[in-house]
Structure 1
């Protein structure tokens, strides 16, 4: 059985090693590489998901479309495409870097910590039919941008969602988010 690995980072966001994903998330989770993705359909709606209730970290919270961890030596676009396919049954038409410098640290009610350098991307899709993996996703719904903004004020949203929305809201509606380029991505992550 394959054990998913995360990429560990130093304070300069350089790769310093790897560790098993599941065993690494606890009260003293090391700083590591991740990503968040917001999927936008042809009508401008955003796919918002609720994390599976059985997930180890932050179960049952509402958040963006998809998040994950790039594997060692895996580029950001490849990681996003992999997770969109396996978690939601989606194929991205395009992927754009939106918040390449985003990072956060959050503590769950049970004391589990997330501590991530987590570039945020927008993926566009023309086919909006989803096939969520129930071990990852409890619910998946297409929301208007106004509904997405309102979720940021509700306690059932993930801490990283609230932090991301504070930076995304000033950019306007998701179809209008500017391409932030790849210059701000961490050195440990290829585009």
Structure 2
């Protein structure tokens, strides 16, 4: 029996509007929904880039940041980050640090499919990826953070639209990604402030 994955729909202020099946929301009229982006760094400050699997609905075969995804309804975002890193990359991360609590974007593919997400951004420190999941990831590459940001900011690297928008905001946090200030969960949009008892 296959479980249908649901996403959390939100309004412009980040309040929950309910849920919808993930496969039903990504199209030409994609509603705003809750997601996350994460950037994995090794101890040397290199960032892990991934190339999205060629069969994915949105931005297939495109290089992007380490891992993106959607929390399950009622799941804290940092838990979702760790869950997806394990599923997509075989990474056993211990924690995910919130760095951009209110990032959102809307991007349209050439075929008219829209991605529209309220997408807080997390930093994760982890060891090398062990087993990328071919259903999600076609390739991985570790790159020094300064080289990566220079390539994105100068338009020399082809990268996903959300990553291209996130990089200047991350650069503004400081030159060393391992020393970026972290944000409080209280800074998250209301729909993402999930507490587990």
TM-score, L = length of structure 1: 0.95
Moved over 4 A (4+): none
In the alignment, is residue 183 of structure 1 matched against residue 174 of structure 2? Answer: no
What SS class does the counterpart of residue 74 from structure 2 fall into? coil
Alignment partner, residue 45 of structure 2: 44
Counterpart position of 1:74:
75
**After the TM superposition, which residues 87-102 of structure 1 pair with which residues of structure 2 at under 5 Å, given as runs?**
87-102=88-103
Report the equivalent of 1:106.
Answer: 107
Q: Tell me which residue corresponds to 1:167.
A: 169
Offset at 1:129?
Answer: 3.4
Contact 2:107 2:114 in 1 (8 A): yes
| RMSD between aligned residues | 1.3
Structure 1: runs of 5 or more not aligned: none
The answer for unaligned runs of 5 or more in structure 2 is none
- For 1:139, the equivalent position in structure 2 comes to 139
Count of equivalent residues = 190
Q: Distance in 1 between matches of 2:156 and 2:7?
A: 30
Superposed displacement of residue 155, structure 1: 6.0
Q: What TM-score comes out, normalization by structure 2 length?
A: 0.92
